[in-house]
Amino acid sequence: MQHFQTSLFYDLQELIRNSSLLPKYYYLFKALNLSSLPDKNYGPGRTGHSRHAILRAFIIKHLEQIKSVPQLIEYLESYPALLELCGFQLGNLPDESQFYRSLKDTKNSILKDIHHSLNQLLVKEGFLTLSRIRPRLKTRHGCHKRKQSQESKQKHQRQIQNSQT
């Protein structure tokens, strides 16, 4: 199977401007601070695929509610511009074992730090507000129901006030 460099056939910036899907990921990935995550293997052995690109792909998997890594790979292959935004080249996508290995080899604390710093940035820039986040509880019928105690409402209000100062 022959692969071509797809960016020769489209203007990525034009696609981002005219797409409903791409701008979300373009700005999200642009805001990600991945400096705490080594991009490649600098020890013995092969350098492998970019860990940053794999992490971006896992973000897409989560936000698009894709159930498995094989489905994620299929999804990315069907959107070459999204594949490029992640940092992959068409035809050079890791296989599923490399996705799983990357997740296994990445410390959870690093992922939590990246997630926390991104959430802080999104709150600071006004894309995410704490008032939209509330705990979800399951009812006995299996449906989700939002519930917030008086104490947690007060704590939430203090967080909002602290974030505005």
List beta partners, residue 137.
145
Q: Where are the alpha helices (DSSP H) in 19-149?
A: 22-31, 51-63, 69-78, 80-86, 96-105, 108-124
Q: Is residue 140 part of a domain?
A: no
Which of 27, 31, 23, 94 has the alpha carbon at shortest distance from 57? 94
Which residues does 98 contact at the CB level (< 8 Å), separation at least 6?
48, 49, 54
Q: Is residue 164 part of a domain?
A: no
- Residue pLDDT, tens place only, 94-127: 999 999 988 888 888 888 988 888 888 878 877 6
pTM: 0.66
- Residue pLDDT, tens place only, 44-59: 656 578 899 999 999 9
- Residue pLDDT, tens place only, 56-102: 999 999 889 999 999 999 999 988 889 989 998 878 899 999 999 88
List beta partners, residue 145.
137
Q: Is residue 68 part of a domain?
A: yes
Overall number of domains in the chain = 1
Q: Is residue 156 part of a domain?
A: no
Which residue range is the domain that position 99 belongs to? Answer: 6-129
DSSP 18-54: H-SSHHHHHHHHHH---TTS-SS--SSS---S-HHHH
